[in-house]
Chain A
Amino acid sequence: MNAMTGSHVPALHIDNLHKSFGKTEIIRGINLSIAPGERHAVIGPNGAGKSTLFNLITARFAASKGKVSLHGQDLAGMAPYEINRLGLSRSFQITNIFPKMSVFENIRCGLLWSMGYKYSFWNLVSRSRALTEGAEAILEQINLTARRDLPAGVLSYAEQRALEIGITIAGGADVIMLDEPTAGMSNTETDYIVDLIRKVTVGKTLVMVEHDMGVVFGLADQISVLVYGEIIATGAPEDVRGNPKVQEAYLGAALEEEH
């Protein structure tokens, strides 16, 4: 799996990860290795534990057992901001932006730390050309230039999702994690966001959680199927689609839902 980039350290490595809430075990021993530059999708029916897995990786929850490492570094016990500084950035399933700030400012907040401003109180943000240009370049990428000065809270849902992705990539993290980026969208909007994701994650490692299998087929290099807290298959999209276990556990359930 690592052959494609020549690096032997996986971008993200999950080792025997468990998570229980009370007596209920939601994540039941997950092993996963994601190579740098890979676009990896974790799919699964509702309630499979996708979001829990996601929150475990980004240290929003503490794991009951097992470990997660980013570029070989154990993430246990780290605060979200520390993980972010190591180069992992995430989006949220429920749109999580700064609704009162302008679209431009949302992106700029995402840039501040990585551009070295830290807790500075001796720089004026409006004076930094690099900051303004960097934020404008990202706005251009996510096609929100025309919305630059609007409060983020008034954007349409799809635009807010695009902004969420923009904030997530702004800091230049090399591992991007997206939690159901197309949830609640129409087909056209979904296609638009998938194109956007493809465009903004070039050269980066992408881990995304998705309910809808159709969304990830054209996008992901590797797909893992999560069912009841376990990964039942990992592989290229075609192999996963052809896997009888996956069809039984996942596609069957999806078909039932549709009818």
Chain B
Amino acid sequence: MSDQTTSQPRTGSLTGSLSFALAPWIVAAVLLLFLPMIFQANSAITIMNQMWITVIFALAYNMLLGQGGMLSFGHAVYMGVGGFFCMHIMNWDSFERIPLPLLPVFGGLFGMGLAILVGAFSTRKAGTVFAMISLGVGELIAACSVIIVVFFGGEEGISGDRTYGLPFMGVEFLKQIEVYYLIAFWLMISAALMYLFSRTPIGRMANAVRDNPERAEFLGYSARWVRFYSFVASGFFCGVAGALFAINYEILTEENLNTASSGVILLVTFLGGVGFFFGPILGAIVFTLVQTVLSLQTELWAFYAGILFVATVMFFPGGLAGVLMMHVPAIRLGKAKLLLVPYIKTLIPAAIGILGLAALVEMIFHYRHASTGDNEMTLFWTTFDSHAVMPWIVVIAVIVIAFGVMRRNLPEMTDAWDEANHAEEG
């Protein structure tokens, strides 16, 4: 019964794989440390702050979606409520005796407290029941934001001042860069703890319950309690993200609780890939860039983000992380370089074609929405008249040629892919 597959088990010692496992963490820490020195502009720091907060939130969300198989439609509230509580701490008289870097601990505990309350009933069932309860609770708390004005501050929200806290080793967190390192510190701590959580008995059983709750029950584990503990842990880290949000922006509003925010984190996590721990990190980075950098370039950024999401769901359900990890077998076989040239020959025309399509969309948008007489538009560093015929011909020609070249080179890429993933017999 054991003669059909030829793959060999990997025989790696535990200690050897441990130092190997630490490598990405060290790289990440170094990157976090040096990125602000490479991108020194204030706007870059602002973008990175937003990015790392989203990373924590997305990783926490993936504790449910990816690790535990629970689809939550109202997860913004755990981050939001954690953030609101921290805002109240900032506005509290005794705040001057609390060092600011400790605030995320409180945010985490408040997020966790809410998760304990809600999880107590929402984690009884997985699947649709859980999703619906999460949506309902999310809406409920978001609605409370305009009702319980004392806590949520109504429509204008709650604002505060982080610099009132006890100076921490002489740092008052007046400057954006100081906040950056505070966020980076908490990102490393949170990501490491969430990763370690996935390696504990409860973390492993969260995977087991996700894949096969009935089997897990017959192994002595209550699927419901396994889900509950994952939910509570996720709530904690959402609260940490909320606290960092409060520190960074010094204001929280209803927007931090509503369904749209919950939807965004689902998109971010899915875009990055739910199947791998690092997936949400990629998703948060890409989405934040789209949201900040691309939104400066075009009003239609949300449209492109939507297309990116739909394309991911349809063609790459494993997300960005899934696409990367698809290449692991070829790398293991030492054949990844076979893919390089075919990739260049196929993906560059594809990228040009996609940019051409985007140009077409922008031109249609400009043609329809620009005020009369204002026919000039600038696209890819070129200024032209959107009401003239020539630019349209050029753009359509670029699209047709680019996709034509891509199509012609596509078989080469698929052949190379098969070849690179084909193990030599024997």
Contact = CB atoms under 8 A, between A and B. Distances in A.
A158 to B, nearest CB: 5
B204 A109 contact: yes
Nearest to B228: A119
B2 A84 contact: no
Nearest to A96: B215
Interface stretch (A100-108, A197-205, A224-232): A100-108
Contact of B205 (A109, A167, A171): A109
B203 A113 contact: no
A119 B229 contact: yes
Interface string A152-166: 001010110000000
A122 B226 CA distance: 15
Nearest to A158: B1
Interface in A98-150: 98-101, 105, 108-110, 112-114, 117-126, 143, 145-150
A1 interface: no
A156 B4 CA distance: 8
Given A109-B216, A119-B226, A149-B10, A125 B221 contact: no
B426 interface: no
Contact of B199 (A58, A124, A146, A159): A124
A84 B201 contact: no
A125 B201 contact: yes
Nearest to B197: A121
Interface string A47-61: 000000000001000
B119 to A, nearest CB: 13
B366 to A, nearest CB: 48
A109 B219 contact: yes
A96 B199 contact: no
B208 A109 contact: yes
Given A119-B229, A120-B200, A110 B211 contact: no
B219 A84 contact: yes
A117 B201 contact: yes
A25 interface: no
Given A96-B214, A98-B208, A149-B9, A122 B200 contact: yes
B381 interface: no
Given A101-B211, A120-B200, A84 B205 contact: no
Contacts of B207: 98, 100-101
A117 B202 CA distance: 8
A253 to B, nearest CB: 30
Contacts of B226: 119
B200 A84 contact: no
Interface in B49-69: none
B2 A110 contact: no
Contacts of B10: 149
B276 interface: no
A236 interface: no
A169 to B, nearest CB: 11
Contacts of A96: 212, 214-215
Interface residues of A, number: 49
Given A98-B211, A126-B14, A119 B217 contact: no
A121 B9 contact: no
B220 interface: yes
A115 B200 CA distance: 14
B241 interface: no
Given A119-B225, A124-B199, A159-B1, A112 B211 contact: no
B189 to A, nearest CB: 16
Interface string A182-196: 000000110010000
Q: Specify which of B4, B212, B214 lies most central, judged by the most chain A CB atoms within 10 Å of its CB.
A: B212
B220 A114 contact: yes
Contacts of A117: 201
A121 B230 CA distance: 10
A173 B112 CA distance: 36
Contacts of A84: 217-220
Contacts of B200: 120-125
A159 B221 CA distance: 25
Q: Specify which of B200, B217, B220 lies most central, judged by the most chain A CB atoms within 10 Å of its CB.
A: B220
Interface in B173-231: 196-197, 199-205, 207-208, 211-212, 214-223, 225-226, 229
B190 to A, nearest CB: 15
B285 to A, nearest CB: 26
Contacts of B217: 79-81, 84
B1 A189 contact: yes
Contacts of A189: 1
Contacts of B212: 96-99
Given A84-B220, A113-B219, A125-B199, 13 more contacts: A81-B219, A81-B222, A84-B217, A92-B215, A96-B214, A99-B212, A113-B220, A119-B225, A121-B203, A124-B200, A143-B2, A146-B9, A149-B10
18 contacts: A79-B222, A80-B214, A80-B217, A92-B215, A96-B215, A97-B212, A99-B211, A100-B211, A112-B201, A113-B219, A119-B205, A120-B202, A123-B200, A125-B204, A149-B10, A156-B1, A156-B4, A158-B1
4 closest A-B pairs by beta carbon, nearest first, are: A113-B220, A117-B201, A80-B217, A84-B220
